[in-house]
Structure 1
Amino acid sequence: MSIGSYRAYFEGMVGVTTATADRDSARRVDEGSPRTRWNPLTRITFRFAFLYFGLFCVLYPQPLFAFLGWFGANGWLPPDAIIWQVRVLEPVYHWVGRTVFGVDARLIVSGSGDLRILWILLFCVLAVSVAGTLIWSVLDRRRPEYRRLAGWFLLFIRLCVAGQMLGYGVAKLIPTQMAQPGLATLLQPYGDFSPIGVLWSQVGTSPTYEMLLGTAELVGGILLFIPRTAILGAMLALVDMSLVFVMDMAFDVPVKILSGHLMLMSLLLLTPEARRLIHVLVLDRPAGRSTAPYPFHTRRTRLLAALLQIACIPWLLVPLAHTGWKNYHESGDGRPHPPLYGIWSVTDFTRDGHPLPPLLTDENRWQRIVFDAPGTMTYQRMDGRLRDATLMLDPRTHHITLTSGGQHLIEGEGQPDTPSKPLAEFTFQQPTPDRLTLDGTLEGHPVTITLAHVDPDTFRLRSSGFHWIQDNPSF
């Protein structure tokens, strides 16, 4: 194959051909003619969509932050850099919240994407977009169409959706978003889970399923960055984000604002191609040539633009993958097991020199303890309640220090407990791998606790496995 053939093949792959360039040049000449004039409803709808989704992508924390690449993914920026837009405009949102809704909207760094202040942000974007559309429609009522502006706008929206799809995909392909249920989660009654805890545990139980979900999101993002495959990427993104949005709504996941808007923006990207898609997918007719606006018209500018868009893939993907892999091995399922890892069942509990029988009403006795996450020990009271305690464990001196004030252990949800205070000081002995003895003080009382190791694979969630043949399935 000659050099010219390679170039032609590559240009075809990225969506750069002489035919499309000539066609767009001709279309550009005809812009403003009656043949290309938009109807009033289309013009008004475009104005609103341009203002609303443009402001959303600029003001909401995540869409633009993703394009910082290494700068945003590796801690080179302040921890709250992702929310700088919200922090700058916080006084405005606070005033709108108090004046319009009578609520106190403050910026809280909690990991939630559905903060009260973000809903106020959304209201402000909607109000400004409605007012801006009215003013724009009056002042610019004679303009017949906005093809050139629409081309830039759709390109901007496409890149924003693509960046978020890569982030969603990597977080699942390297399964860190939804980790496998922890050891303490195996002890949690199902009725005590929050809906988000049910979803997180359900997806995390099968890393293969989570990785396939991530693969679909990742592929959608990559396709969106390539001009030739952008329509296919938008279709896949629409399906992916519709599923995510439904799960967020059904399981009360605090990412409803972002997932809902990514779904709508994916649909927006397909709007210019709606007629062609209906012809092919529904009416079994030829699709015809695309008339979707695109800001680059010459062969040279299209090629350069395509190369820049494709270059965004490694710029975003490499730091995302690096950070995800690092988190997976430091705090995710790939992390090393801490000392004394496992579930330990209390066989004997002595307090103030007196043995305590395993009574469900006893508030002093423990039922189980769990060593799983680094720096944390979970203990289960006799009534089944689980509590986290901050753990300092020295394997050399066999010394354990516990500080209370952890969190209620519900997978995917944490509620603050009492303020931190000393809880216990122990020395431990492990005469055999399945036996453990703690001796020291607990809440100011001398205690001796004898424990037996519980094999986590005895739980059905871990031991049921996979079966091709199931004559009598059990649930």
Structure 2
Amino acid sequence: MSVVVTDETNDAEHEPGRADSVEWKLFTRLAFRFCFLYLGLFCTLMPPIVFVLFGWLGRQMGYSAQFWPVRKLQPALSWVSRHLFGTSVQLYPSGVGDQRIFWVLVFCVFVVSMIGTALWSVLDRRRVQHRVLASWYLLVVRLLLAGQMLNYGVGKMIPTQMPQPSLTTLLTKYGDLTPMAVLWSQVGVSRPYEMLLGAAEITAAVLLFIPKTTSLGALLALIDTSQILVLNMTFDVPEKILSAHLLLMSLVVLAPDSRRLLRVLLLNRSTAPAVLPYPFHTRRSQRIAAVIQGSLGLWIAVALVLGGWHAWRTGGPDRPKPPLYGIWSVSQYIRDGQQVPPLITDGIRWKTVVFDYLNAITYQRMDDTLVTVPAEWDAVDHRIRLIADTVVSGPAEGAERPENPRGTFVFQQLGPEKAVLTGELDGHQVTLSLDRIDLSAFPQRSASFHWMQDRPNL
């Protein structure tokens, strides 16, 4: 395989007179107009795309600022949904990207882009190409794609996107895990693997921020986003809309180089040097633009690293932990002075208690059901206060009821392996004797790497 490479100046290749004299085919003009409108609207309205460019300022504005365009459009989107799909939609502050309102948004963007393409083609029917507009468009799409790849990558290089399985997950039956929880656990259990995934995404971002390595960066981004989309589709991760459009953006950035790549990679033929789709036509302007793009990448990276490091300190393995951190079995459960036997038919008695985070505890009933309850810890007075969430019952009841148990415990640690909880739970006096469960008993916490194995470690 040979590739023709020359040392001639690129200035002539970027002269508007030469490039603008080539007429585009009708399909190319229609495809560009549609992609320009569709991705332009989608990237502007879809919360994470443009917001990542705000960098540190975005962190100061807060997470809810991302959803400002969708909140403003919510009445119109709900109207469309009710009249076309027979259901109303609303924006939930969950950060999930596959909410019904976003699917309605994509539908509206598609329809508007189709209509806009038709009108544009009629009103501008004498124009035979859009090379100047396309060069600016590709620049913007490339930078937006690079920002998203950097966002994905930093979340894995500082492994907070898919953290190590929690103590509660260790107690959860595999059959009770959702497909997404299985994916998150299998990636989070291997920190080097997650960091390598992040390194690939960061590499794609860096290459996209450098104009002359755009094609290589877009190729790597295409591979990365393809894997992300496949995982989202097959493990039911609610980010299918975003990942599919990142894949589309990778294809758009690669489009000007598609013929050269096909000649080299598939046909094993030589090809001329690429004519980079710059909107800048002098070496000086190209250098200035390259510096600005690199600075933009650094601006985004600093904000993402600061946010990732904060998430690591507050939610990673070295985060502040409750005094009784660990998994404890309830060896003795006394309720109103009477010892409660460990019967699997008992829906009240606790079997196991998990202390993993400062804002919640998880207890396991005798039937192995796991219940997480918001809690407050007072390390000075050795108290744990359970906070009952309140939910509205159905119309037949017409009242509110507590979803979680309400109570206060005084905890006392008798030694490294034993503790006692004494207090009130749902109006009853209880005493719980606890025995610590060794975390190394769980293979996910104790299994080590082996060069030599005589049989699979299943």
SS of the residue 1:425 aligns to: strand
Task: Tell me, yes or no, if structure 1 residue 450 matches structure 2 residue 433.
Answer: yes
Q: Decide whether the 8 Å contact of 1:370 with 1:377 is kept in 2.
A: yes
In structure 2, C-alpha distance between the alignment counterparts of 1:287 and 1:85, rounded to whole Å? 44
Partner residue, 2:242: 258
Partner residue, 1:467: 450
SS of the residue 1:295 aligns to: coil
Q: Decide whether the 8 Å contact of 2:38 with 2:109 is kept in 1.
A: yes
Q: 2:32 aligns with which of 27, 33, 46?
A: 46
- AA partner of residue 412 (structure 2): Q
Q: How much has 1:336 moved relative to structure 2?
A: 2.9
Q: Decide whether the 8 Å contact of 1:217 with 1:240 is kept in 2.
A: yes
In structure 1, C-alpha distance between the alignment counterparts of 2:401 and 2:133, rounded to whole Å? 55
Partner residue, 2:9: 19
Task: Tell me, yes or no, if structure 1 residue 296 matches structure 2 residue 317.
Answer: no
Task: Tell me, yes or no, if structure 1 residue 270 matches structure 2 residue 257.
Answer: no
Q: Decide whether the 8 Å contact of 2:320 with 2:358 is kept in 1.
A: no
In structure 1, C-alpha distance between the alignment counterparts of 2:380 and 2:128, rounded to whole Å? 79
In structure 2, C-alpha distance between the alignment counterparts of 1:334 and 1:217, rounded to whole Å? 25
Q: Decide whether the 8 Å contact of 1:424 with 1:440 is kept in 2.
A: yes
Q: 2:291 aligns with which of 307, 330, 346?
A: 307
- AA partner of residue 260 (structure 2): R
In structure 2, C-alpha distance between the alignment counterparts of 1:126 and 1:101, rounded to whole Å? 16
- Structure 1 residues without counterparts, runs of 5 or longer: 1-16, 408-416
* Identity %, equivalent residues: 49
In structure 2, C-alpha distance between the alignment counterparts of 1:418 and 1:309, rounded to whole Å? 55
SS of the residue 1:110 aligns to: coil
Q: How much has 1:394 moved relative to structure 2?
A: 1.9
Alignment of 1:379-398 (within 5 A): 379-398=363-382
In structure 2, C-alpha distance between the alignment counterparts of 1:184 and 1:257, rounded to whole Å? 30
Q: Decide whether the 8 Å contact of 1:55 with 1:125 is kept in 2.
A: yes
Partner residue, 1:190: 174
Q: Decide whether the 8 Å contact of 1:60 with 1:86 is kept in 2.
A: yes
- Structure 2 residues without counterparts, runs of 5 or longer: 1-6, 392-399
Q: How much has 1:404 moved relative to structure 2?
A: 3.3
TM-score normalised per structure 1: 0.90
SS of the residue 2:387 aligns to: strand
- AA partner of residue 179 (structure 1): P
Question: How far does the alpha carbon of each residue in 1:302-360 deviate from its partner, in whole angstroms, 9 at most, with x for none?
Answer: 11111111111110001110110011011223313221000000111111211111110
Q: 2:135 aligns with which of 146, 151, 154?
A: 151
Alignment of 1:41-190 (within 5 A): 41-73=27-59, 76-190=60-174
Alignment of 1:371-410 (within 5 A): 371-405=355-389
Q: How much has 1:264 moved relative to structure 2?
A: 1.0
In structure 1, C-alpha distance between the alignment counterparts of 2:401 and 2:212, rounded to whole Å? 56
In structure 1, C-alpha distance between the alignment counterparts of 2:89 and 2:140, rounded to whole Å? 30
- AA partner of residue 42 (structure 2): F
Q: How much has 1:77 moved relative to structure 2?
A: 1.3
Q: How much has 1:158 moved relative to structure 2?
A: 0.3
SS of the residue 1:347 aligns to: strand
Partner residue, 1:30: 18
In structure 1, C-alpha distance between the alignment counterparts of 2:258 and 2:194, rounded to whole Å? 31
Q: How much has 1:446 moved relative to structure 2?
A: 1.3
Q: Decide whether the 8 Å contact of 2:13 with 2:275 is kept in 1.
A: no
Q: Decide whether the 8 Å contact of 1:196 with 1:252 is kept in 2.
A: yes
Task: Tell me, yes or no, if structure 1 residue 439 matches structure 2 residue 439.
Answer: no
SS of the residue 2:11 aligns to: helix
Q: Where in structure 1 do 4 or more consecutive aligned residues deviate above 3 Å? A: 404-407, 417-422
In structure 2, C-alpha distance between the alignment counterparts of 1:182 and 1:131, rounded to whole Å? 49
In structure 2, C-alpha distance between the alignment counterparts of 1:222 and 1:45, rounded to whole Å? 28
Partner residue, 1:428: 411
In structure 2, C-alpha distance between the alignment counterparts of 1:187 and 1:346, rounded to whole Å? 14
- Give the number of equivalent residue pairs: 444
In structure 2, C-alpha distance between the alignment counterparts of 1:100 and 1:47, rounded to whole Å? 26
